[in-house]
């Protein structure tokens, strides 16, 4: 397995619910320590590596986010079942009968989101979506006391279970938390490329916390660093599977990185958008546009920091996000890393000053 796949495997398989990103943060710290001049952390837990190219150049921030859609245990029933709240946007139909990993003080436990067998479902119930509030997690405990003995307590996070898998043919990878450990991995791979290349700026690169519950880490980290430019690295919705119309999702897997034109939180800086497009065309990097009426990324919060920060999102179309298993095309990932690296190398002081004129 090559270094990028090893990186993706390690990051996606680590647990990192919103507010409990510690295992992912320590992996990011391990990689950043070998690639940057200084590693820093803010009060919420976002991690940033500082790499100095030109000390008098602009501050360019490139960030993925560490957290994944997950669950928070809120109650243990007298019979030992776990009630939970969702962390991030879940659709009920992808949740039932799925395995989860509960992270406790005593270690990790495997559970399953309970479901009724079809044999006992009347037709009207079979055709109705089970609501999240009616779901529970079964960890094989016979009582509340036994569940407590296992180490579970309210407030513990739970994450999906899905081993990282290279799909047949090698073009796609499957895993949990590709949203957005793939963005974290791309930041690391970008820094690997920059290690041997000049860049006319000071790069602040790393990963935020709590994106899935309100873009919170992006707010604190952008207020702290006060970057001159912000590049968010995140997934987009792939529109190449049955049932999704071309007007609903623009990206197609294997057709290149996504450049965001619009979402509910961000209209990107137009000159920065043009710079990204021009860079891709100059280097022959295939690219696609993305636009979403709903949703948002860290750029949506970071661009409001201080007096305003020119921002954009570069990412990759991904199938089945916000579920237990997502699919990412390796070529989209590699080309996005290349595009990020080359855009950063073009962000000198004059270019950045022109972005807001």
Alpha-carbon distances, residue 259 vs 50, 52, 197 (angstroms): 25, 26, 24
The reported pLDDT for the residue numbered 117 is 84
The token pair at 268 is 């990107």
Task: For residue 168, count other CB atoms closer than 10 A to its CB.
Answer: 7
Whether residue 290 is found in the same domain as residue 333: yes
Closest CA to 251 of 310, 336, 175, 184: 336
Residues annotated as catalytic are 211
Mean pLDDT, range 337-355, rounded to an integer:
98
Q: Does a structural domain hold residue 107?
A: yes
Query: 329 near 253, Cβ under 8 Å?
Result: yes
Residue 5 pLDDT class (50, 70, 90 cuts): very high
Q: Is the pLDDT of residue 116 over 90?
A: no
Q: Does a structural domain hold residue 166?
A: no
Q: How large a percentage of the chain has pLDDT more than 70?
A: 100
Task: For residue 247, count other CB atoms closer than 10 A to its CB.
Answer: 7
Last residue of a domain, one of 112, 135, 160: 160
Whether residue 151 is found in the same domain as residue 62: no
What is the rounded distance in angstroms from the CA atom of residue 357 to the CA atom of residue 355?
A: 6
Query: 109 near 92, Cβ under 8 Å?
Result: no
Query: 330 near 171, Cβ under 8 Å?
Result: yes
Query: 210 near 66, Cβ under 8 Å?
Result: no
Task: For residue 85, count other CB atoms closer than 10 A to its CB.
Answer: 12
Whether residue 64 is found in the same domain as residue 141: no
Q: Kindly give the pairing relationship between strand 288-291 and strand 258-262.
A: parallel
Query: 64 near 181, Cβ under 8 Å?
Result: yes
pLDDT tens, residue by residue, 120-156: 778 877 888 889 999 999 999 999 999 999 999 999 9
Mean pLDDT, range 223-238, rounded to an integer:
98
Q: Is the pLDDT of residue 1 over 80?
A: no
The reported pLDDT for the residue numbered 234 is 98
Q: Is the pLDDT of residue 229 over 90?
A: yes
The reported pLDDT for the residue numbered 316 is 96
Mean pLDDT, range 61-76, rounded to an integer:
98
Residue 339 pLDDT class (50, 70, 90 cuts): very high
Alpha-carbon distances, residue 143 vs 77, 133, 149 (angstroms): 8, 21, 10
pLDDT tens, residue by residue, 85-106: 999 999 999 999 999 999 999 9
Question: Is the N-terminal amide bond of 180 cis, ω within 30° of 0?
Answer: yes
Query: 12 near 174, Cβ under 8 Å?
Result: no
pLDDT tens, residue by residue, 240-272: 999 998 888 999 999 999 999 999 999 999 999
The reported pLDDT for the residue numbered 190 is 98
The reported pLDDT for the residue numbered 295 is 87
The reported pLDDT for the residue numbered 196 is 86
Residue 327 pLDDT class (50, 70, 90 cuts): very high
Residue 59 pLDDT class (50, 70, 90 cuts): very high
Whether residue 214 is found in the same domain as residue 330: yes
Whether residue 114 is found in the same domain as residue 38: no
Query: 29 near 47, Cβ under 8 Å?
Result: yes
Whether residue 258 is found in the same domain as residue 338: yes
Whether residue 232 is found in the same domain as residue 340: yes
**Residue range(s) defining the domain that contains residue 144:** 70-160
Handedness of CA 292, 294, 296, 302 (dihedral sign): positive
The reported pLDDT for the residue numbered 247 is 84
The reported pLDDT for the residue numbered 120 is 79
Cross-strand partners of 202: 52, 59
Mean pLDDT, range 166-194, rounded to an integer:
98
What is the rounded distance in angstroms from the CA atom of residue 184 to the CA atom of residue 170?
A: 21
CATH number at residue 334: 3.40.630.10
The reported pLDDT for the residue numbered 294 is 86
The reported pLDDT for the residue numbered 258 is 98
Overall domain count for the chain: 2
CATH number at residue 115: 2.40.30.40
């Amino acid at each position: 397995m090559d270094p990028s796949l090893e990186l993706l495997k390690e990051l996606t398989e680590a647990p990192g619910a919103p507010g409990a990103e510690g295992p992912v943060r320590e992996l990011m710290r391990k990689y950043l320590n070998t690639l940057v001049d200084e590693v820093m952390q803010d009060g919420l837990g976002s991690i940033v590596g500082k790499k100095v190219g030109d000390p008098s150049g602009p501050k360019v921030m490139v960030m993925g986010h560490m957290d994944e859609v997950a669950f928070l245990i809120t109650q243990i029933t007298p019979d030992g079942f776990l009630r939970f709240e969702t962390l991030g946007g879940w659709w009920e139909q992808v949740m039932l009968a799925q395995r989860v990993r509960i992270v406790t003080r005593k270690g990790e436990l495997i559970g399953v989101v309970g479901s009724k067998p079809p044999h006992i479902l009347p037709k009207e119930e079979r055709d109705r979506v089970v609501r999240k509030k009616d779901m529970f997690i079964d960890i094989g405990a016979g009582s509340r006391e036994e569940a407590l003995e296992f180490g579970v307590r309210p407030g513990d996070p739970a994450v999906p279970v899905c081993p990282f898998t290279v799909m047949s043919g090698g073009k796609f990878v499957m895993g949990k938390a590709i949203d957005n450990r793939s963005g974290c991995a791309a930041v690391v791979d970008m820094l690997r490329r920059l290690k041997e290349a000049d860049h006319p700026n000071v790069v602040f690169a790393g990963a935020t916390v709590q994106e899935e519950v309100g873009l919170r880490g992006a707010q604190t980290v952008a207020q702290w660093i006060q970057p001159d430019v912000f590049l968010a690295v995140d997934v987009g919705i792939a529109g190449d599977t049955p049932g999704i119309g071309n007007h609903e999702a623009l990206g197609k897997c294997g057709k290149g990185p996504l450049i965001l034109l619009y979402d509910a939180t961000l209209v990107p800086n137009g000159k920065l958008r043009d710079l990204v497009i021009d860079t891709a065309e100059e280097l022959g990097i295939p690219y696609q546009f993305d636009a979403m009426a709903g949703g948002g990324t860290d750029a949506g919060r970071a661009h409001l920091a201080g007096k305003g920060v020119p921002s954009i999102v570069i990412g990759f179309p991904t199938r089945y996000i916000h579920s237990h298993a997502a699919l990412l095309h390796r070529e989209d990932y590699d080309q996005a890393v290349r595009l990020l690296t080359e855009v950063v190398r073009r962000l000198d002081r004059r270019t950045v000053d022109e972005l807001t004129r």
